[in-house]
Structure 1
Amino acid sequence: MLPAAAEWFSTWFDSPYYHRLYQDRDYAEARDFLSRLLAHLHPKPTARLLDLACGKGRHAMYLSEQGYDVTGVDLSAQSIAHARQFAHRHLHFQVHDMREPLPYGPFDFVLNLFTSFGYFEHEAENVVALRNAAAELRPGGKMVIDFLNTEQTIQALVAHETKTVGETTFHLHRHFHNDFIVKEISFRDDQGEEQHFEERVRALSRERFEEYFQLAGLRLAEILGDYHLRPFEQATSPRMIFVLKK
């Protein structure tokens, strides 16, 4: 495994400029999706949920507000420090690398949402992460992996974009390289210094995911295609939302 300092997400996700760039994300849409997903999965009132790669915990908080016991884990220490101010008896947050065994279970549901998978340089690490999560699922438990529809995303890539947020102008360059969808992010920070980060998500196909699931001992129950939970259509769906059973 590469040292954390060498991995793009370990620095970019802890940067205040990451949160600045994405401050206009549609959280109302995310809450609507989570509400539909809960109705679709219908967890028992006593269910324990894991939000895997929870960021600052906004979605874990919403899930907890619906009455469930929720644990959120994320690699970003700064994000977890922010989330912990909202922790309570039934809402817990931990700094955790999903490639390491999870000691917080067992869980009835594991949710990995909004393309929080496929970041690792070595493909085998994706399987390790899934196996670790599956190990913390109770028998009969379910896992949800929400990923982009890779084929559609590559076809629709906007190569160059400029976005100004407050006093910061971000220059974005998107491309496909060595099995990864890459977004390069350049800007001058508040001190006027040039900064450069990148985001890298492995271009995982449905078929490759299905190989991962088999290796992790998970059974694919269904694939949903968008945040309205319509069935997945390869040619038109924006998302691949996998519902898996242990």
Structure 2
Amino acid sequence: MPSAPPTEWFSTWFDSPYYHRLYRERNHEEARAFLGQLLRHVRPRPGARLLDLACGKGRHALYLSEQGYDVTGVDLSAESIRYARQFAHEHLHFYEHDMREPLPTGSFDLVLNLFTSFGYFEQETDNVVALRNAAAALRPGGKLIIDFMNTRLTLRELVAHETKQIDHTTFQLYRHFQNGFIVKEIRFRDDEQQEQYFEERVRALSREQFEEYFQIAGLRLMTIWGDYQLRPFEPESSPRMIFVLKK
């Protein structure tokens, strides 16, 4: 009998309550300020259809809907979508969805893929598939925004080991570069004092690799910002690569 395919790291980690415990201190005010900046620059028309691709627990999709847009959020994590649906209403919908599959609804004026929610797949071709699906969900002339780490700077400043104490959980975080991926190993004891191990793997994509993907997917690169204040991208010093693409 053929062996079962290996479990992808994100299919278990994102559904774990410890994922949300580890990252609960993320700066949501900074994220909302960033989204506000984006909307002022991209200027979707009133009532435009927006897609939050890899929406997590829906906080950012909720903010976008509060600005008067019709918003759909999709995410692979069943637990995150279950949580997000408490916010749903006539102009805010959430679906469990793998971005490697064609998107169930369209067409959108703006697709957002934010906070390094790309490059998780073991097969590099899946990145192109995901981008093609995002492009297919856009109306002609619609825009896609991809917010990714500046890989060059991230690798240069990679912290090999870090300890985080959150409530009664001590997380040991180990980071390294392996086979084209930036890997974060996450070790801790759960609430029953059992040893737990998870990992995150994000492909160390360069600007040049992204541009190849965009060309294959039929997307035109309009600009690249380098941080959440939307300053121009500087390869050696910018913390982010925020790509603005047009169909």
- Scaled to the shorter chain, the TM-score interval is over 0.9
Residues 213, 219 of structure 1: 8 Å contact kept: yes
Partner of 2:170: 169
The answer to whether residue 234 in structure 2 is matched with residue 233 in structure 1 is: yes
Q: What is the TM-score when the length of structure 2 is the normalising length?
A: 0.98
Structure 2 distance, partners of 1:5, 1:102, is 24
Structure 1 distance, partners of 2:51, 2:5, is 23
Structure 2 distance, partners of 1:244, 1:106, is 16
Structure 1 regions of 5+ residues with no counterpart?
none
Q: AA paired with 1:217?
A: G
Q: How does 1:58-73 map to 2 (within 5 A)?
A: 58-73=59-74
Structure 1 distance, partners of 2:104, 2:88, is 18
Q: How does 1:71-220 map to 2 (within 5 A)?
A: 71-220=72-221
Detail structure 1 runs of 4+ shifted over 4 Å in the superposition. Answer: 2-5
Deviation at 1:46, TM superposition (A): 2.3
Partner of 1:22: 23
SS at 1:151 equivalent:
helix
The answer to whether residue 8 in structure 2 is matched with residue 7 in structure 1 is: yes
Deviation at 1:103, TM superposition (A): 1.7
Residues 4, 10 of structure 1: 8 Å contact kept: no
Q: How does 1:47-62 map to 2 (within 5 A)?
A: 47-62=48-63
Structure 2 regions of 5+ residues with no counterpart?
none
Deviation at 1:3, TM superposition (A): 7.2
- Identical columns (%): 75
SS at 1:9 equivalent:
helix
SS at 1:214 equivalent:
helix
How big is the alpha-carbon RMSD for the aligned residues of Structure 1 and Structure 2?
1.1
Q: 1:217 to 1:50 in 2, by over 3 A?
A: same
Aligned residues: 245
Q: What is the TM-score when the length of structure 1 is the normalising length?
A: 0.98
Residues 5, 11 of structure 1: 8 Å contact kept: no
SS at 1:6 equivalent:
coil
Deviation at 1:9, TM superposition (A): 0.3
Q: 1:3 to 1:144 in 2, by over 3 A?
A: farther
Deviation at 1:4, TM superposition (A): 8.0
Q: AA paired with 1:235?
A: E
Structure 2 distance, partners of 1:235, 1:218, is 25
Per-residue CA distance 1:179-223 (angstroms, 9 max, x = gap):
000000000000010000000000000000000000000000000
Structure 2 distance, partners of 1:199, 1:228, is 27
